[in-house]
Amino acid sequence: MNYLKALVCILLLFAASVLCAAPNSVSYYQTEWCGLERIIKKSVNPFERLKTIEKVVANDKTTDSELFDALISMRYIYTYEIRDSSDAEMALMWLKQLGKSYSRAEFEVLLSSLKPEDMLTEEGNRLIGKLLSYDSFFPYDNGYLPVVEKAHLTFMLAVSDMALGKSSNLTLCKDYSGFSGLPVTMIYDMACDRKLRAYARFINSVKKSQNHRVSKMLEDVLSPMYLPLKQVEKNFLAGLACAEMFPHVSTKLFLDCITGEPRIKNVEHGLAVLALHYRSNNAFQESNIIFEKLSKLYPKSVWLK
């Protein structure tokens, strides 16, 4: 670990030598992570903070916890304030080295590597599951990225399970809203073959609050009640579930459902949902193109009335 501290000190000394060439700092900046956002306000020049970090790292009595905090600060100062990607990457490499003996550093490295599109892969599904195993770290706040709650990662795992056809039974502590305000817990029950429970909630509350087009779409997806859903329908439901939080992921899922093979059994609904999804995300040209396609293929569609 002394070798690691020495390397960090060398980098910080180099940073101090280019103070005059550094861009002017701003009073705040925004960070994003998997659908979450955070505003970071600063009152101290980034290079003054780097000098403080240098003292922490150079101290032989610095603990793993203190070194972790120093490397975190260094990484995000270089990423968002000095905007030096190579030095930010070096700080990440040192965090990985520290992670071999300090679990919080390992968690940070894994967390920062997760991207929304990873929900659609087996590797990403396993990564989310591993992150959830660090139960004592939640809610996780490294001071820079948005605060990550266990409920958010559980929601991401539920979407991933739907998209990958895993019949899980996760406890969604927070009922997120999907396309058209649909409750994700109901969508999740539908995708994981708990159709009776999903239908009960649909009849008792959702159908009363939704317009007839969305209600018809859900009834057609659920029908027939005695058959399990095909994977393409589960992909469609995953898209409905993450439409608000992860619009780019849901766009991919909707497109796959209407252009891939096999296609969703009710392509009419898939086209309409994609068109409305584009519109809600200000992609008006794409929305109009899809609606024109819908009107040609399904001129009597309930979505056109």
- What is the 8-class DSSP label of residue 84? -
pLDDT at 19 (0 to 100): 44
Could you tell me if 25 and 80 are in contact, meaning their C-beta atoms sit under 8 angstroms apart? no
Could you tell me if 53 and 73 are in contact, meaning their C-beta atoms sit under 8 angstroms apart? yes
Residue bearing the bigger pLDDT, 175 or 131:
131
- 13 confidence band (pLDDT: 50, 70, 90): very low
Q: Is the pLDDT of residue 265 over 70?
A: yes
- 18 confidence band (pLDDT: 50, 70, 90): very low
Mean pLDDT value across residues 102-120? 96
Residue bearing the bigger pLDDT, 151 or 11:
151
Q: What is the DSSP string of 188-208?
A: HHHHTT-HHHHHHHIIIIIHH
Q: Is the pLDDT of residue 140 over 90?
A: yes
Residue type present at position 122: E
Could you tell me if 98 and 4 are in contact, meaning their C-beta atoms sit under 8 angstroms apart? yes
10 Å Cβ neighbour count for 9? 15
If you average pLDDT over every residue of the chain, what do you get?
89
pLDDT at 41 (0 to 100): 85
Q: Is the pLDDT of residue 259 over 70?
A: yes
- What is the 8-class DSSP label of residue 170? -
- What is the 8-class DSSP label of residue 78? I
- 25 confidence band (pLDDT: 50, 70, 90): very low
CA distance 249 to 158: 14
Could you tell me if 251 and 197 are in contact, meaning their C-beta atoms sit under 8 angstroms apart? no
Mean pLDDT value across residues 154-162? 97
Q: Is the pLDDT of residue 20 over 50?
A: no
- 55 confidence band (pLDDT: 50, 70, 90): confident
Angle 249-254-255 from CA coordinates, rounded to 5°: 100
**This prediction's pTM:** 0.88
